[in-house]
Amino acid sequence: MREGKDKVAEIIAQAEKRGQQIIEDAKVQARLEADKVVAGAKAEIEQEAARVKESLRERVAELAVAGAEKILRREVDVRAHAEMLSTIKQDL
């Protein structure tokens, strides 16, 4: 009878130990998965930031060109421009 109780106690102890090992393994796997998710999210954020920066650069360039066009349209005298073109034409 005593031998049977010892065997049952041993089986229970092994089951508890195995249960704890399963829990620890699950925690490790969860941490690894969480790390992967975080790394993926960081990479996605960096890519999005790069896209936004590039878009901003393009927009700034467009605004600079548009501003330059407006300035040149106001400042260029049609007669002076025609004279410059005529001089260049004669030099050629």
pLDDT tens digits along 45-83: 999 999 999 999 999 888 888 888 877 776 667 777 778
> Into how many domains does the chain fold?
1
Give the rounded distance of the alpha carbon of 69 from its chain centre: 35
Domain residues for 21? 2-91
**Token pair 């999210």 in the structure block, residue:** 41
pLDDT band at 16 (very low <50, low <70, confident <90, very high): very high
SS3 assignment, position 50: helix
DSSP state of 91: H
Indicate the average pLDDT of the chain.
88
Report the percentage of the chain scoring pLDDT > 70: 96
pLDDT, residue 47, reads 97
Q: Is 76 left (phi over 0), alpha (psi -120 to 50) or beta?
A: beta
